[in-house]
Each structure stands twice: as structure tokens, then as C-alpha cells.
Amino acid sequence: MSDSPPMLSRRELMSVLLGSWAAGTIGCSRQSLPPEGEWLSPDFSVGHRIRDGLRPKYDPSSSEHADVVIVGGGIAGLSAAWRLKKAGLENFRLLEIEKVLGGTSRSGQSASFEFPWGAHYVPAPMKENRALVTLLEEMNVVVGKTEDGSPRVAEQFLCRDPEERVFVDGQWIEGLYPASGASADDLAQLEKFQAEMDAWIARRDDDGKRLFAIPIATGADGDVVRSLDQISMQQWMDDRGFTSSRLRWMVDYSCRDDYGLTMDQTSAWAGIFYFASRARVTSTSSQDVMTWPEGNGRFVKHFVNRVQDQLRPSTAAGDIQLALSEKGTAKITAWDSQSDQSVGFDAEHVIFAAPQFLAPYLIRDFSRIADRSTAAFRYGAWIVANVHLRDRPREDGMPMCWDNVIYESKSLGYVTSTHQTGLDHGATVLTWYYPMTANEGKVSRQQLLGMTWSDWAEIVLADLSRPHPKIASLITRIDIMRWGHAMIQPRPGFVFSEARLSAAKPIANLHFAGTDLSGVALMEEAFYHGVRAAEAVLAERKHPFESLL
């Protein structure tokens, strides 16, 4: 049977991607599209050439020596680079296929605004997350401690009020729960759900570990949490009688927001993790949110400034030949897309900070030298659109917030890039998010490649027009990013699978990093694995350092 996406009419496509209500907007929204817009994506060309067999030849006479070569310039790779340099090890190189670093944490900029192209916030860390607190102190984001020792975040980096709203029953209301029109039973089920989350937050295993913690490696891994990973979040809700459509929508939205999965596709462990890992005491008192106009691009800029001399952008690793003997060096051959020629590196250590699905393509003889498979690692496709407005939509009631969600939409709504700056009127940029949940990852990626800028611009406009009927006249351009492998997916059975648990084990002189090693795509997890891999290399080299973990 073919796994190609079915051929759909534009009306059918709108219905699949937005819902049946959207079919009636066909034609109307397209006529209102702005004249300008960019159609963006990660660099498919070199990556697909490597996937299809491109293997640049290693030339020892022109290779560059480094103590460490880092493959991948997302948050994990940049974190590893930051940790090495912080420890005083500077003879390393970081290879990144893109000319822009940061992966899904990258940001964009126009003449007037900065805005995210992916991840856009991080909850304030708990005091136990020493490595992240250290980074945030260095960034002057954490500026002290509270009486109980928790990090104190500088006020300007905490998400300012009003933080979030949801559009339901024709109006915007504060918060993410669609309380407008909720029945007594809806509210009773919400209270019961919050009580269950509070119980998970308070619970500890026999070793005193939280059942749900960030980083995941610091949490419990016993039978209780493993059993949750074997069922879906939807089954968990069903088993407990949570039938309220409003509560189920909120939980489904949370799964789509963090994992790019609906709640029937999400492990119950991951569904509960969303609510329980970010709070110390109760689910209604979660950690404060830190955000910036450029989102998590703020971290990328900080890392890049610290390790600028060691970065090699537009350089795609194509062949990693490991040193299987104790004193050998790894040979890395890469493709420099700027010069359109191969470049070589020999290194005593390699940190593989790219997604796991690339390992068999890039690491020579991976299937022979590795004692595991990467087949269980599945990734979701996303669309992110930055919508430039010359003015704000006119609206009554609840004002525009940082996070703006549309009830029962298949999108995640939008964040407002100027919210943190205090510019509550006039021009702005809205960053709109859409996880491709209707099909398996491969089919979604094929669907992405088959659609045009106009297709997606029409979908963006149709979705935004529900709460803002006259927004089309305010849009000056829509830029759209396609992310084919945006996020690892914590489907049932994956988080505590042997495939994931064994994926971080080093092979010879290569150490793995990357957020997919945790099973959830969070900045904190990518940072943890980057630091962990760097410290493992420092330890092997007997380089002096004090662990941050």
C-alpha cells in the first residue's frame, strides 16, 4: 500500500487542516492574501543528498585537527560548545548544516521587530537544575535567590500580564481553560483533574525523586511512571471518567502544544508530565514563564556570542568514521555548501548533537557498531508563520496577550512578538503555530512539500479571521517556515522504551546529545544533554572541571 498523502481538493485540504467550518472560506481568504511573503524551510538539499548517498571524500592532507567536533548547531550542540569553552577547552569545532544556527530555537528579525521561528519560552527553572540556573545567571536573567533558595528571575524577562487568553463562544476570555459557558459538571471535572495533577506533583518514589521532573533524567523511572507510558493520555482520561469536552480540549491542546500530538497519540506519561513537571506544589501555581521578543533565539544569540570562533555554519557532516581503537582519532568529512566542496576534520572526540534518525546516515557502519536501532524515534512536522501587521485588530473585552489560543482550532493560535516590549498598540508580528497531527510524520512531511506558500497563507488567514474578522486588511506580509522534523514524539511506549534509554550510550569516542534523547522536545532537555555530553568528554580527557549537573 502506498504511504503517499491522498490527493485532496483545496476545500478538502482546508477541512482536514482546520476543520469543517473552514470549507466555506475557500476563495474568500485567498483573495485577501498579502502581496508579499517568504516560503522558508531548513536546508533540504544537502541533507537529502547525504540521505541519498553523498559521501564527501576525506583528505588527510587538508584536514583540520580538533580535540572535539560537535555535529549539530541546535540548542544541544550549542550547549555542549558553551560547556566546553566554560571549562577552558577551546580547540573544538561545531558543524551546522544551516547558515543560521539554533535549529527550532532560531529567530527572525525585520527592520522593527524580532520574532521566533519555533520555541518561544522556558519556565523558570527550579533550584535543583543547577546547570540551567548557571546559564541564566551568566545571561543576567537570574539575578539572585529567594528565601528558599529558588532562582529569582529579573522582572523584565518574566512574561508580562496579560499572559494568555482563549477565544471561545465569540469572545476572548483570560486563561487557557474555556470557562465561558462551562457547566457545573465541566467545572467539577476541571477541579478533579487539577487535584489529580496536584497528587502527581507531590508524589515521590522510594528514593525521594519527583515522579515528573525537568530534566527527565532527574525524575523517577519506576513501575508507576513506566505503566503510564504504556497507554495514551486519552485512555487515561477515559479511565477516570473525564468526559467534559472543555477539559478534554484543554488537555488535547496541551499535548499538541508541547509534543505536536493529539491526546490519543500521546503517552499518558507525557500528558501528565506537561502539567506536573513545571510546578513545585500545585498545578495552578506553575513556574513563572520566561520569554523574549525573539523567543528562545535569545539563548541561541548568547551561545553564539560565547563560541563564535569555533562555529562552522553551512557545513554538513556527511561521514563520521569513529576511532574504534583506544588511541585513534575520528575522521569527519563534511560538505561546505558555501564553497561547494568537502572539508575534513580529525578529532579525538565527537559529540553527535543531531537528531537520532540521522545517525545511520552520518556515522559509518552505524548498524554494525551500534547495539541499537533508531527506528523507534518518530518526529512531527510543523508550520510556523510570522504574520506582519501594520496595526492591531480592533477588539472588545480581553486585550491581546502574549499567548492567544482559539478554542477548537487545530492550530495553537499565536504569540505576540511585541508583548514583552510593552508596545500594546500599532504594528506588530504574530507568530502562528500549527502541528501536523492528521497523518504519520512521513506523510505529513510529504504533504508539507506538496503545498505552496499560498495554500498555507490561506490557512493562516482563515484561522486568524475567526477571532479577527477584519485582520486581512492589516496584514502586510506572511512569512512561513516548514519544519519537517521539528519535534520528537512521545507516543505510547516510547519514553521508557529500551530504544530511547539506550540511545545516549556512547560509541567509542563519540557521545550523543540532543533533545530527542529525552523523548520530549524541550529546551531544558536539549541543554541538559549538551552539557552532559560535554562533561563526559571533559572527564575522558581528564580536563579539570566542576560538574554543573
Give the pLDDT confidence of 60-119 residue by residue, as tens digits.
777 899 999 999 999 999 999 999 999 999 999 999 999 999 999 999 999 899 999 999
Q: Tell me, what's the pLDDT at 1?
A: 41
**Cα–Cα separations (whole angstroms), residue 17 to 13, 364, 438, 463:** 6, 39, 8, 10
Do 549 and 535 form a contact (C-beta atoms < 8 A)? yes
Using CA atoms, how far apart are residues 71 and 255, in angstroms rounded to an integer? 30
C-alpha distances (whole Å) from 346 to each of 12, 92, 400, 468 are: 52, 11, 53, 56
pLDDT at residue 24, rounded to an integer: 63
Contact 262, 249 (CB under 8 A): no
- What is the per-residue pLDDT across 202-255, written as a single tens digit (0 to 9) for each? 999 999 999 999 999 999 999 999 999 999 999 999 999 999 999 999 999 999
Q: What angle do CA 281, 121, 359 make, to 5 degrees?
A: 105
CA distances from 165 to 246, 368, 397, 412, 447 (A): 15, 52, 11, 12, 31
Q: Distance between CA atoms of 296 and 198, rounded to whole angstroms?
A: 29
**pLDDT at position 2:** 46
Question: Is 70 exceeded by the pLDDT of residue 162?
Answer: yes
Percent of the chain predicted with pLDDT > 90: 79
pLDDT tens string 255-302: 999 999 999 999 999 999 999 999 988 777 788 999 999 999 999 999
Question: What's the average model confidence in pLDDT over 144-152?
Answer: 94
Helix (H) or strand (E) holding 138: helix 130-138
User: Is the pLDDT assigned to residue 187 strictly greater than 70?
Assistant: yes
pLDDT for position 534: 98
Residue 41: which pLDDT band, with cuts at 50, 70 and 90? confident
Query: Does 449 have pLDDT greater than 70?
Result: yes
Residue 5: phi and psi, rounded to 5, are -65, 145
Residue 339's pLDDT band, with cuts at 50, 70 and 90, is confident
pLDDT of residue 111: 87
Q: Are 153 and 124 in contact (CB under 8 A)?
A: yes
Q: Is the peptide bond before 215 cis (omega within 30 degrees of 0)?
A: yes
| Rounded Cα distance, 357 and 445, in Å | 15
